[in-house]
Amino acid sequence: MQHYRDFIIYGFNQWKPTLKKSLDRIFTYEQLKRLTKNLGFDRSAVPTDLSFQQWLGLFNYFLIGVEEYKKRLVSGSEALLKNQQNRIQKIHRTRS
């Protein structure tokens, strides 16, 4: 479960406009080309364009078809995001 959350957060938080660019460090060009065809989405899609089933398909391939060093790039993405969010200064307002 943690690996899935890390994978999704990594995909959404790369500050790149498309999934192709967001996931280019994880999947090779050929892998992503095949995955987009098999899962039925365009390579110019943004993370919010994909359905749960498409994300699950990407993740399942990530588990079996990606080298271990690439998996380490994704590992800890949720903890990193939470750490960044905790450092944001929050302004609390009172109701008037």
Contact 29, 37 (CB under 8 A): no
Region for 42 from its dihedrals, namely left if φ exceeds 0, alpha if ψ lies in -120 to 50, beta otherwise: beta
Contact 35, 64 (CB under 8 A): no
Q: How many domains does the chain have?
A: 1
- Name the band, by pLDDT with cuts 50, 70 and 90, for residue 95: low
Query: Does residue 95 sit within a domain?
Result: no
Range(s) of the domain holding residue 34: 2-87
Which range, of 42-46, 74-78, 91-95, averages the lowest pLDDT?
A: 91-95
Query: Does residue 96 sit within a domain?
Result: no
- Note the pTM of the prediction, 2 decimals: 0.82
Query: Does residue 16 sit within a domain?
Result: yes
More confident residue, 31 or 93: 31
Contact 10, 3 (CB under 8 A): no
Query: Does residue 94 sit within a domain?
Result: no
- What average pLDDT does this structure show over 53-67? 95
- What's the pLDDT tens digit per position in 2-33? 999 999 999 998 877 888 888 989 999 999 99
